C-alpha cells in the first residue's frame, strides 16, 4: 500500500509540469509560422527533363533549418486533396465565427424568383442590348433600368442643407501623426513639411486655406454603398466634399476660397516640387531609394537581380529595428494627342499634393505618356524627346512626365510577338520598374478616374487592408462581391459563409481544391513566389497576414475559363507559337482558341487601376522574356496565380444609381450557375458581353454611365439625362427638390444651384470633363 501511495505522490508532483508542457505546445501551434520564400529570382523555367515536383523543389532548395518555424518546430511542405470528412473540422471552426444573416434560397428557388422578377413592361425604344431579345429568356440584363432611381446623391447632404444645420468646412488632413513618439519608434528619419505651389509649408495650421476642406456629414443622410464597404477598408465616412472645398486649392475658382487667383499655375513645376520634398525627407527612405533617376527614358535592361531588394530585406529582418518607409510610384496613363482639360489638371494637382507633397515623398506621381510615333527615337535623341514633350504635355506637368513608345516593349520582349498597348498594357510598367528600382510599388492610374476625397487616405487604407488579408481561400474569396445589405453589413459573416461554401464545394468535388501556394501551368515552370509554411488544413487563416500584397485590384479576381468573356482565350505562347493574330478583318481575333487552353490556369479582373509590387513586375518581366503573355487584365493575376504571389481584391465602396434589391444584386453579380463557390465564373457570368450591361449604373466600372453623370452634376454642370425613363426621373427629382426647399424654408428656385456634397468616392469612367461637353 505504501508503494502505491508513493507512486501516486510522484504522479501528483509531475502533474503541474505536464499541464504546463501541454499549454506551451498548444501555444506554439497557434502562433503564426513564417512563410518560406523562394531563393532567388534568376531561373524561371526548368527543362522538362529537369523537372521536380513542387514538394521536391521545396525540399531540395531549402536548408534543414528552413523547415523550422520561429519556435524551432518542424513543418513540412506540400498538400493533398482531402475528402469531405477531413474538411468537417474546418467547417465546424468556420461556423464558430459569426453566423450569416442572409436568408439563402436554393438555386432552383432563386431561378424561379428571378423569372417572376424579370417579367416587366419592356420599352420599345432603341437600346443595347435590345429590350425584347429577352422576352422569353431566363435572364434580362436590362431589368435593372426599371428599378427605382436614387436621388439622394443630388438632394441629400447638399452644402445648403449642411450650412442650414450649422456645419462649416474644416481642413481635411487624414495623415499619420508624423514625428510623434510612437511614429519615431517605428520609422527612420524625421517627417519634414514640404513646400506647396506658393512656397508655403503644407499641412501647417497657418496654411489651412491651402488644403482641401470637408463638411462633417449629416448622419444617415447619404445613399448607402451598394457593394464593398468603407468600414471594412477603414475609410473615413464622417466627411463629405463639394466641388469648391475639394478643388479650390487646385485651381477651381470660388469667392469662398480665394487661393486660385493668387497662384500662377502656368509657372508650377510639379516634378521639381516632388523632388525637393523627397530631398527634405531623404533620411526616411533607404539610401539607394532617396534619389529618383532622371526622367529621360532608356532602353538599357538592368540586371534582373536588384541588390537594393536584398538590402531592404535585411533591414526589415532586423528585429526591433526602425523601418525605412517604402516608396510608391503612381503612373497616370496618358498618350500623345490627349487633350488636357482644366479639370484633368486640377485632378493631377490634387493627386500630386495629397500623395507626394503632404506625405513627405512616400509617393511620387508621374505622367506616363505613350508616344504613338512608334519609331520616334526618344531614347537617344534629346531634341526629338524635348520636342515631343513640348507637343504632348502641358508646361506645368512636363518635368513629371516620362515618354515611352511600344518600340521599347518589342525590343525587350521580342518573343511575345505582339506589343500593342491595348493588349500588353503592363509591359511598359515592367520597363518603368526596371528603370526606377527605387520604388517598391507602382500604381497604374487612369486619366478618367476621379476620387472625391483624399487620395493618400484611400490608397493607404487599400494597402493596409490588403496587407492583413490571409492567403487561405484568398483566390476563391477574391471572386465574390460583398453586398452589405445581404449581411446586415457584417463582413465577418460574409467571409464565414464564403469559406464554408468553398470547403463544401471542394469536398464534394464541385470545384477544384482551394489554391494553396503556387499553381504553375506546366511542370517546367518554376514558381518564384513563397511556398506554404504548412498544409492548408493546419493553417488557421494565418499565412499571409502582415504580408504586403503583390497585386491589388479594385474589382474581383476571377477565373474566366468557363465564361463567355470575350478575351478569355487571348493567350500568347503558353503553347509554343500559338497566339492570336489580329487583322483589319478581325481586329480582336474573335474565336481564337486551342484545345490545350483548358489546362492553363487563368485569373482576370476588369479595369486596370491596380497596384503592383516590384516583385510582381519583375516576374511578369521574366515571363514576357520567355515569350508568354495574356490579354492585359488577365496577365497580372495569372502570373500571380502561377507563381504563388499574393493577389487581393480590395472591396472599396461602390454606389449605384438605382436601388437594387439585395437578393437580385447577389443573383446577378455573384451568379454561379448552380455550382457553389464559382461566383461569376460560369456561363451566367455578369462579365459576359450582354450581361455586362448590368454594370451601367455603377460608380466604378469601365462601361458605367452613372459615374460620368454623377461627377458632372457634382461639378455643377449639366449632365445628359439617360435611360428610357429620363422624363419620369426629372419630374420625380423636381418633386424631391420641392420637398427639400420646404424643409429648408426656401423657395425652390433658390435650390437651382444645389452644391452636392459627396463622401470619398472613386469614380470611373469620367470622360470629356469640361462644362461645354454634351454630358451624355
pLDDT per position as a tens digit, 61-86: 333 333 233 333 333 233 333 343 44
Task: Please answer whether residues 567 and 608 qualify as being in contact, where contact means their C-beta atoms are separated by less than 8 angstroms.
Answer: no
Over 80: is that where the pLDDT of 244 sits?
yes
Residue 309's pLDDT is 54
pLDDT of residue 461: 98
Residue 401 near residue 607, CB atoms below 8 Å: no
Query: Is 679:671 a contact under the CB 8 Å cutoff?
Result: yes
Report the alpha-carbon distance of residue 78 to residue 56 in Å, rounded.
9
Total-model pTM: 0.86
- Is the pLDDT at 560 greater than 90? The verdict is yes
Angstrom distance (rounded) from CA 82 to CA 84? 7
Grid coordinates representing 560 are 474566366
Mean pLDDT, residues 482-489: 96
Query: Ramachandran region of residue 489, left (φ > 0), alpha (ψ -120 to 50) or beta?
Result: left
DSSP 512-579: PPPP-S---SSTTB---SPBPSS-GGG--S-TTTTPPPSEEESS--B--TTS--TTTT-EESSSTT--
Average pLDDT over residues 584-605: 94
**Residue 239 burial (CB < 10 Å; 0-12/13-18/19+)?**
buried
Task: Give yes or no for a contact between 761 and 450, defined as CB atoms under 8 angstroms apart.
Answer: no
User: Of all residues in the chain, what percent carry a pLDDT higher than 70?
Assistant: 80
pLDDT at 291: 62
In this predicted model, which residue has the larger pLDDT, 595 or 772?
Answer: 595
Nearest to 571 by CA among 548, 603, 542: 603
Contact between residue 524 and residue 45 where contact means Cβ atoms under 8 Å apart: yes
**Cβ–Cβ < 8 Å for 364, 330:** yes
Q: How many CA atoms lie within 13 A of 250 on its CB side?
A: 23
Tell me the mean pLDDT in the region 133-138: 96
pLDDT of 747: 78
pLDDT of residue 88: 46
List, in sequence order, every residue forming a beta bridge with 767; answer none if it has no partner.
none
Task: Tell me which of 73 and 13 has the higher pLDDT.
Answer: 13
Across residues 715-744, what is the average pLDDT? Answer: 76
- pLDDT category at 295 given cuts 50, 70, 90 is low
Q: What is the mean pLDDT of the chain?
A: 84
Better pLDDT: 696 or 64: 696
Classify 767 as helix, strand or coil. Answer: coil
Nearest CA to 768 out of 715, 698, 697, 701 is that of: 715
Residue 533 half-sphere exposure, CB side, CA atoms within 13 Å? 26
Query: How confident is the model at residue 42, as a pLDDT?
Result: 36
Residue 563 in contact with residue 681, Cβ under 8 Å? yes
Beta bridge partner(s), residue 451: 762
Interval 348-364 mean pLDDT: 97
Residue 87's pLDDT is what? 45
Q: Which one, of 513, 551, 562, lies nearest residue 679 by Cα? A: 562
- The least confident of 19-33, 73-87, 362-376, 651-665 is 73-87
**Residue listed under C-alpha cell 520616334:** 376
Q: What pLDDT was estimated at residue 17? A: 52
Q: Give the number of other Cβ atoms within 10 Å of residue 79's Cβ.
A: 19
Cα 281 from chain centroid (whole Å): 28
Helix then strand then coil, in percent of the chain rounded to 5, is: 40, 10, 50
Mean pLDDT of 455-468: 98
Q: Which of 533, 707, 559 is nearest to 634 (CA)?
A: 559
pLDDT of residue 207: 62
Say whether 611 sits in a helix, a strand or coil: strand
pLDDT digits (tens, 9 = 90+) for 405-440: 999 999 999 999 999 999 999 999 999 999 999 999
More confident residue, 194 or 739: 194
Bridge-based pairing state of the strands 441-446 and 328-335:
parallel
Per-residue pLDDT tens digits for 517-550: 999 999 999 999 999 999 999 999 999 999 999 9
Average the pLDDT over 385-412 and give the result: 96
Give 545 or 309, the one with higher predicted confidence: 545
**Rounded Cα distance, 717 and 720, in Å:** 10
- Do residues 476 and 514 make contact, with C-beta atoms less than 8 angstroms apart? yes
Per-residue pLDDT, averaged over 463-482, amounts to 98
Q: Of all helices (H) and strands (E), which one includes residue 688? A: none
The mean pLDDT value for 14-41 works out to 41
What pLDDT, on the 0 to 100 scale, is given for residue 719? 84
761 pLDDT above the threshold of 60: yes
Q: pLDDT tens digits, residue range 149-208?
A: 998 998 888 998 899 899 999 999 999 999 999 999 999 999 999 999 888 899 775 566
Question: What is the chain's Cα-based Rg?
Answer: 28
Q: What letters, b where the CB count within 10 A reaches 16 and e where it falls short, cover 497-515?
A: bbbbbbbbbbbeeebbebb
Amino acid at each position: 500500500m505504501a508503494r502505491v501511495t508513493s507512486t501516486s505522490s510522484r504522479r501528483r508532483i509531475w502533474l503541474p509540469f505536464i499541464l504546463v508542457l501541454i499549454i506551451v505546445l498548444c501555444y506554439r501551434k497557434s502562433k503564426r509560422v513564417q512563410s518560406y520564400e523562394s531563393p532567388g529570382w534568376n531561373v524561371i523555367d526548368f527543362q522538362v527533363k529537369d523537372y521536380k515536383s513542387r514538394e521536391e523543389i521545396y525540399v531540395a532548395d531549402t536548408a534543414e533549418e528552413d523547415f523550422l518555424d520561429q519556435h524551432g518546430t518542424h513543418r513540412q511542405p506540400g498538400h493533398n486533396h482531402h475528402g469531405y470528412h477531413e474538411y468537417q473540422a474546418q467547417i465546424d471552426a468556420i461556423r464558430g465565427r459569426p453566423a450569416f444573416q442572409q436568408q439563402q434560397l436554393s438555386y432552383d428557388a432563386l431561378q424561379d424568383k428571378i423569372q417572376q422578377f424579370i417579367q416587366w413592361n419592356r420599352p420599345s425604344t432603341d437600346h443595347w442590348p435590345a429590350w425584347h431579345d429577352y422576352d422569353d429568356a431566363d435572364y434580362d440584363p436590362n431589368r435593372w433600368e426599371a428599378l427605382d432611381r436614387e436621388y439622394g446623391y443630388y438632394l441629400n447632404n447638399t452644402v445648403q442643407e449642411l450650412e442650414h444645420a450649422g456645419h462649416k468646412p474644416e481642413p481635411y488632413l487624414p495623415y499619420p501623426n508624423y514625428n510623434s513618439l510612437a511614429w519615431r519608434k517605428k520609422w527612420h528619419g524625421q517627417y519634414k513639411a514640404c513646400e506647396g505651389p506658393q512656397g508655403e509649408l503644407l499641412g501647417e495650421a497657418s496654411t489651412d486655406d491651402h488644403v482641401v476642406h470637408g463638411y462633417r456629414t449629416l448622419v444617415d443622410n447619404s445613399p448607402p454603398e451598394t457593394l464593398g464597404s468603407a468600414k471594412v477598408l477603414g475609410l473615413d465616412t464622417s466627411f463629405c466634399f463639394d466641388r469648391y472645398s475639394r478643388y479650390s486649392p487646385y485651381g477651381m475658382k470660388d469667392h469662398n476660397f480665394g487661393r486660385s487667383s493668387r497662384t500662377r499655375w502656368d509657372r508650377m513645376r510639379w516634378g521639381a516640387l516632388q523632388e525637393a520634398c523627397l530631398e527634405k525627407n531623404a533620411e526616411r527612405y533607404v539610401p539607394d531609394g532617396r534619389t529618383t533617376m532622371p526622367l529621360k527614358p532608356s532602353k538599357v535592361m538592368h540586371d534582373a537581380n536588384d541588390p537594393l531588394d536584398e538590402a531592404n530585406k535585411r533591414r526589415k529582418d532586423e528585429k526591433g529595428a526602425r523601418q525605412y518607409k517604402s516608396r510608391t510610384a503612381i503612373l497616370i496613363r496618358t498618350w500623345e494627342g490627349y487633350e488636357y482639360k482644366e479639370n484633368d489638371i486640377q485632378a493631377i494637382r490634387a493627386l500630386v499634393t495629397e500623395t507626394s507633397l503632404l506625405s513627405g515623398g512616400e509617393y511620387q506621381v508621374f505622367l506616363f505618356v505613350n508616344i504613338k510615333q512608334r519609331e520616334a527615337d526618344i531614347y537617344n535623341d534629346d531634341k526629338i524627346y524635348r520636342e515631343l514633350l513640348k507637343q504632348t504635355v502641358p508646361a506645368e506637368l512636363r518635368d513629371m512626365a516620362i515618354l515611352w513608345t511600344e518600340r521599347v516593349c518589342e525590343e525587350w520582349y521580342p518573343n511575345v510577338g505582339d506589343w500593342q498597348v491595348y493588349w500588353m498594357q503592363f509591359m511598359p510598367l515592367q520597363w518603368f520598374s526596371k528603370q526606377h528600382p527605387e520604388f517598391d510599388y507602382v500604381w497604374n492610374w487612369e486619366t478618367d478616374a476621379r476620387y472625391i476625397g483624399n487620395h493618400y487616405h484611400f490608397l493607404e487604407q487599400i494597402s493596409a487592408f490588403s496587407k492583413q488579408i490571409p492567403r487561405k481561400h484568398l483566390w476563391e474569396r477574391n471572386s465574390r462581391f460583398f453586398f452589405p445589405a445581404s449581411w446586415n453589413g457584417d463582413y465577418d459573416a460574409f467571409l464565414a459563409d464564403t469559406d464554408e461554401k468553398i470547403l463544401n464545394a471542394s469536398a464534394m468535388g464541385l470545384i477544384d481544391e482551394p489554391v494553396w501556394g503556387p499553381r504553375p501551368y506546366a511542370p517546367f515552370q518554376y514558381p518564384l513566389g513563397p511556398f506554404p509554411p504548412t498544409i492548408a488544413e493546419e493553417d488557421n487563416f494565418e499565412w499571409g497576414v502582415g504580408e504586403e500584397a503583390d497585386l491589388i485590384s479594385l474589382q474581383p479576381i476571377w477565373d474566366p475559363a468557363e465564361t463567355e468573356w470575350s478575351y478569355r482565350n487571348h493567350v500568347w505562347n503558353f503553347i509554343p507559337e500559338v497566339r492570336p493574330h489580329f487583322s483589319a478583318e478581325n481586329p480582336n481575333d474573335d474565336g481564337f482558341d486551342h484545345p490545350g487552353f483548358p489546362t492553363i490556369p487563368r485569373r482576370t479582373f476588369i479595369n486596370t487601376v491596380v497596384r503592383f509590387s516590384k516583385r510582381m513586375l519583375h516576374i511578369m518581366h521574366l515571363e514576357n522574356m520567355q515569350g508568354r503573355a495574356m490579354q492585359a487584365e488577365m496577365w497580372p493575376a495569372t502570373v500571380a496565380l502561377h507563381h504563388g504571389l499574393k493577389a487581393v481584391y480590395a472591396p472599396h465602396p461602390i454606389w449605384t444609381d438605382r436601388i437594387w434589391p439585395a437578393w437580385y444584386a447577389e443573383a446577378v453579380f455573384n451568379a454561379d450557375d448552380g455550382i457553389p463557390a464559382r461566383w461569376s465564373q460560369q456561363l451566367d457570368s455578369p462579365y459576359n458581353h450582354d450581361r455586362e450591361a448590368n454594370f451601367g449604373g455603377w460608380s466604378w466600372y469601365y462601361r458605367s454611365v452613372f459615374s460620368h453623370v454623377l461627377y458632372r452634376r457634382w461639378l455643377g454642370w449639366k449632365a445628359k439625362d439617360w435611360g428610357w425613363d429620363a422624363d419620369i426621373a426629372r419630374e420625380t427629382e423636381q418633386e424631391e427638390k420641392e420637398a427639400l426647399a420646404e424643409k429648408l424654408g426656401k423657395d425652390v428656385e433658390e435650390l437651382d444651384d444645389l452644391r452636392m456634397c459627396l463622401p470619398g468616392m472613386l469614380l470611373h469612367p469620367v470622360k470629356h470633363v469640361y462644362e461645354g461637353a454634351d454630358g451624355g
